[in-house]
Amino acid sequence: MVYKNKKLVNFIFSGIIGLLLATSPSFAIENKLTKPVLIEKVQQSERDKRQYEVIELANKMRVLLVSDPKAVKSLASLALPVGSLQDPKDQQGLAHYTEHMVLMGSKKYPEPASFSQFLSRHAGSYNASTAAHRTAFYFEVENSAFNKALDYLADAISDPNLDPKFADKERNAVNAELTMARSNDGFRIGQVDSETINQNHPASQFSGGNLETLSDKENSKLQDALVNFHKDYYSANIMVGVMYSNQSINKLAKLAENNFGKIPNKNINIPIVDKPAITPNVLNKQISMVPAQPKKLLFLQFPIENNLAKFADKTDEYISYLISNSSHNTLSDQLQKQGLIEAISSSINPIRYGNSGIFSINVSLTDDGLAQKDKVIGAIFNYLQLIQKQGISDAYYEELKKVLALEFKYQDVERDMSYVEWLSDQMLLYPVQNILNSDFIATNFDKTAIASRLKSLTANNARIWVISPNQTTNKTAYFVDAPYKIDNITSEQKANWLALGKNFTFSLPELNPYIPDNFSIVKQNRAQAQPAGFSKRGNHLHFVSQYFKTEPKAAIVVSLRNNQAFSDAKAEVAFNLLDYIASRNLEQLRFQAGVAGISLSTNNDNGLMISASGFSQHLPKMVTAILNSYRNVTIDEQSLVLAKSWYLQELDKSEHAKSYWLAVNPVNELSDLPYFERDERRQITATMTINDVLTYRDNLLTHSVPYMLSLGNLSNEDSLDLYHSIQKTLVRDVEFTPVDNIQIKKSLEAKMAQYAKSTDNALMMSYIPTGYDRIASSMLSYTLSKIISPWFYDQLRTNEQLGYAVFAGPVTVGDSVGMSFIIQSNQYDPVYLFKRYQEFYPVILSKLKALSKEDIEQYKKAVLDELKMPPQTLDEEFSRYMADYRNSRFMFDSRHKKIEQLKKITKQDLVDFYNRSVMDKKGFVFASQVLGKREDNAKQPEAISEFTEFENVSALQNELLK
């Protein structure tokens, strides 16, 4: 499960209202719903050919049915408008705890792991989440298993066992989940916020729950509270459901009646929060806080009413649009050019506290920006004044309306279980007809409302957060141990902000020149580039989309590969500094492209990799603009200082991650050839000069070899023209030789240890056998993981409560793949975890041998269905080329080879692979362990004594390369 302090309302650039519902011709009769539709039809995009109907069951539950003949998998969710805001004071976290307990077995399916094991056999998974205002449950599964999966979920909600024997286990699970979240600064900020708002509002409570808050007390027994919470709130009449499948509407309606219809209707009213969260005495405050991660943040937060009913006005989104805009001489542009900020944005959450919310201006500061935060604050208030006086414009609203319309019409949505989680949220918050388009319509330009909101964005009405290391604090937030301090904003501070703000002269944003107006589909040349052998002098590859031929979108990746680009640590540092400087220079283009439905990014791929995807009209010129920015951006002392500060912070972030990520990182880093230690890169960063970066840039942009892959709505000629234009800028006689990936060819038992910044320990055990090629090891390990992951989770997480983060899955080092087992624990150290792993490995083997041939074939079918699922977006289709592209495998046949390999796998193959890798350790065995931080007088966690100790990743990598 995931506990979420979920931000539900974001500023999303999206779409237009499609007023007509379309049905597939083959479904026309069967999809004619005989039950009455509730209220009104769902408004959908004119390009969306799915059928949507909302029905009301006899138990008064509203259910959204989505019939999609092309659905690659089936999805469902259930949600109720009850969350942590309904926690009783004497059992804080009860909503979250209840969410856990209802999934611990039901009357019909008493075994806690039965649902997850069923889904694992059928290419599925499930999750649940608790927010302040709601609780949701959701799953995805292969189409053929949808009916049974619905029965599992419905029975869990309607008839959970709520067995007291699991009470302590799930209390520990909740506690471990929240302990793990201590390193999450969003969670820490949320707790400090709860301690600094009106303490009579339920949002002031500890919403997640822990062993202390969820316990028996003199006047409250936890088991009684659990049973009563479920009895009082889990009622069909306030619930909503979503069902998405390839079945017809009538069949889905019947499934809804048979499954969701059995949830009892207790005729309860939706609980109402009537106390204010933000009272006058908690405004005009500055909150200083120390983060868990190395970061420098500034938030200006202002209370707003719950205005969801006016979602079509887009009042707050309009203001957010102008604040976030990065065009010339805007707030963002000036603060960036002065080296004060990394980025500025705005977010809106009208239901942060249930009955009210916040409008937040969010700034990521540089070192200079932190030192001059008053100047940044003054600039923000100055810019807000400019918007109030001159920025309430029909032109901006029409632009906003247009980009929203385009995004909705041409939505890129991956329909997985997070999609139906979102749909159930939408059903709880918006009218039926606007479930799909509430975020995407702007039909009422309310200038008075915008002016009124802008007038409220003042220091007197603000809660200003300064979050960075070394803040002066005098309090510690409960459980998360976040140091903080809250002070009144003084009149002197406000006068200073006013004076500093007057030093800025801003311009309002220019209208966006990249919003597309040409959506024509190009005539594809049949002589498009075909899969080809790798050339050391470069390759151009262009493909017509096999799935999205009628979309006016494309995707392009260009790589300038250079064998010297990452040949030593200095080169790697130089690349990152150059990439940062060029990216800052591209901020205006990146923002305008994003608004216009184009995603731009840069990365490394044995050199510089430029990626662009979205509407195809302006796409090639975007790639050229990025390359020109790299070539022409000024590299001076200020930009170099900023780049160094950013890079050092990024290096530090790697060492402040959650414990299980700290354990995973060394395994991933082994595949990064050659790997250079962070300490070495820190030392080199300090000595880098402007000339070092200029010399690196000159070599990268002249002596590299161009490789390009494009997909979608570009002609082969236009794609080739772009490739040739890039090729002309490079020296012609240069060659690039790919670096061979690591292959596990010998046995080695290794270990490494790290020390966490948090209290949690972690152990990742990796087992990669010799004797298998890339494709075989990949499919054997992936299929195995589908089988054994639920067993590992059920025993070591559910039954033994060794930790909250418990995983078993494939692990890759170079071209070799094996099995890994990971636990993050706030109770047990690596020695104990390793002991339990070793004791459970033979159990896994026995269970594996006990599976029937039919069982194995079902697991294989689930994996095969995953591999054969068509992509849901053009970006997903493009991503299927990328692993082969990065590895210079230009036949692009890895997926096909995996499918053919999977078909051959037998039960004995799986047993042999498990024996060879895990039981017999014939290959690479790697213990990556993390020791949590303890008080000096507490028992310290112990590292395992087995295996050969390696000081760092580069030493281990060198051994594997021998």
* Residue 99 annotated among the catalytic residues of the structure: yes
C-beta of residue 484 within 8 angstroms of C-beta of residue 475: yes
Half-sphere exposure (CA, 13 Å, Cβ side) for 853?
A: 1
Spell 609-648 as b/e; 16+ CB within 10 A means b: bbbbbbbbbbbbebbebbbebbeebebeeebbebbbbbbb
**Rounded to an integer, what distance in angstroms lies between the CA atom of residue 102 and that of residue 152?**
11
Contact 614, 553 (CB under 8 A): yes
The answer to whether 97 and 161 are in contact (CB under 8 A) is: no
Instruction: Outline where DSSP puts E strands in 192-250.
Output: 240-245
Catalytic residue among 30, 40, 56, 99: 99
Which helix (H) or strand (E) segment holds residue 544: the answer is none
Tell the burial category of 553 from Cβ atoms under 10 Å away from its Cβ (0-12, 13-18, 19+): buried
How many angstroms separate the CA atoms of 419 and 76, rounded? 9
766, β-bridge pairs: 820, 926
Give the integer Cα–Cα distance in Å for 693 and 570.
10
Count CA atoms closer than 13 A to 603's CA, side-chain side. Answer: 9
Residues in the chain, overall count: 962
720 in the Ramachandran plot: left (φ > 0), alpha (ψ -120 to 50) or beta?
alpha
DSSP, collapsed to helix, strand or coil, labels residue 948 as strand
Pairing mode, if any, of strands 125-130 and 135-141? antiparallel
Query: Which stretch of DSSP H or E encloses residue 504?
Result: none
Using CA atoms, how far apart are residues 655 and 670, in angstroms rounded to an integer? Answer: 17
Q: Is the backbone of residue 947 left (phi > 0), alpha (psi -120 to 50) or beta?
A: left
Q: Which is it for the CA torsion 239, 240, 245, 250, positive or negative?
A: positive
Radius of gyration of the chain (CA): 28
User: Distance between CA 69 and CA 71 in Å, rounded?
Assistant: 6
Report d(CA 713, CA 553) in Å as an integer: 5
Burial class (CB in 10 A: 0-12, 13-18, 19+), 36: exposed
How far apart are alpha carbons 456 and 142 in whole angstroms? 50
> Which amino acid does the sequence have at 224?
D
Residues serving a catalytic function are: 99
